[in-house]
Structure 1
């Protein structure tokens, strides 16, 4: 079954079409390439502010359950949740909005980030310098559907594993700060002792 039979697949907004020429009251957070992390998350502090000349339609804004896929390498897919909904999605990305109950967005998110699927995307990328893939490739993407229950199990395990990796990274960062603090204190004490 093709992805387009189960979901809408379209490119993001061409920013110049709706962009205000001067500061505007219609300000939106913008998902840019810097926001998308290799592990499939959005780094909100990297988001830009997009000033539109008019209120944007819902179709141009991320919604919880959407999957956003980079059109250039590394073709990372991210799953939109409550914290990342309402953001402008630029034409650097494809927005996949699942419309059929037989496909879970969380499962599709996992599937699109597997090595096998990423390899297929690389093989179908254009040969220009950017190596961009087009939305049509993703719309025509063939997938064999598992049962919803099997999709749910895979999706839940994937999200749990992602959360664990995220917590481990945070722990490692905190440990580095702790070690640096202890070493600095030891150095200061030793220096005073001279």
Structure 2
């Protein structure tokens, strides 16, 4: 079954069409290439603010359950949750909105981030220097629908593993700070003792 049979697949907003050159009352957080992390997260600290000339249609804003895919390498897909909904999706991305309940967003998120899928995307990129993938490739992507229970298990295991990797990364950063602080204190004490 093709992805377009189960979901709407479209590129995001061409920002220049609705952008204001000055501050407005229509300010939106903007998903940009810098804030998409290779692990499939959105770094909220790197999100830009988009000043629109008018109120934007909901189709241009992320919704919980959407999958946003970079059109350029590394073609990372992110799953929109409650912390990342309501953000402007630019034309640097494709947004996939599942319309058929047979396909679970968590499962599709996992599938799009597999090495096998990324390899398929690399094989189907345009030959320009950016190596962009076209939304049409994703629309015509053939997938086998697994039973909902299996999709749910795969999706949940993937999300748990992703959360664990993120926690381990944070723990590692905190331990580095601790070790650095302990070493600095030991050095200072040793210097005073001389």
Q: TM-score range by the shorter chain?
A: over 0.9
The correspondence of residues 1-194 of structure 1 with structure 2, limited to 5 A, is 1-194=1-194
CA distance in 1, matches of 2:83, 2:108: 19
Report how far residue 5 of structure 1 moved: 0.4
CA distance in 1, matches of 2:4, 2:108: 13
Unaligned runs of 5+ in 2: none
Name the count of aligned residue pairs: 194
CA distance in 1, matches of 2:176, 2:116: 35
CA distance in 1, matches of 2:26, 2:189: 55
Report how far residue 133 of structure 1 moved: 0.4
SS in 2 for 1:51: strand
Report how far residue 175 of structure 1 moved: 0.1
**TM-score of the superposed pair, with normalisation by structure 2:** 0.99
After superposing on structure 2, the runs of 4+ consecutive aligned residues of structure 1 that deviate more than 2 Å are none
SS in 2 for 1:83: coil
**TM-score of the superposed pair, with normalisation by structure 1:** 0.99
Unaligned runs of 5+ in 1: none
Post-superposition Cα deviations, 1:101-156, rounded to whole Å, max 9, x if no partner, equal 00000000000000111100000000100000011110011001000000000000
Note the aligned Cα RMSD (angstroms). 0.5
Report how far residue 177 of structure 1 moved: 0.3
CA distance in 1, matches of 2:51, 2:188: 49
CA distance in 1, matches of 2:53, 2:191: 60
Post-superposition Cα deviations, 1:35-88, rounded to whole Å, max 9, x if no partner, equal 100111110100000000001110000000000000000000000000000000
Post-superposition Cα deviations, 1:13-39, rounded to whole Å, max 9, x if no partner, equal 000000012111110000000010011
SS in 2 for 1:84: coil
CA distance in 2, matches of 1:23, 1:41: 29
SS in 1 for 2:72: coil
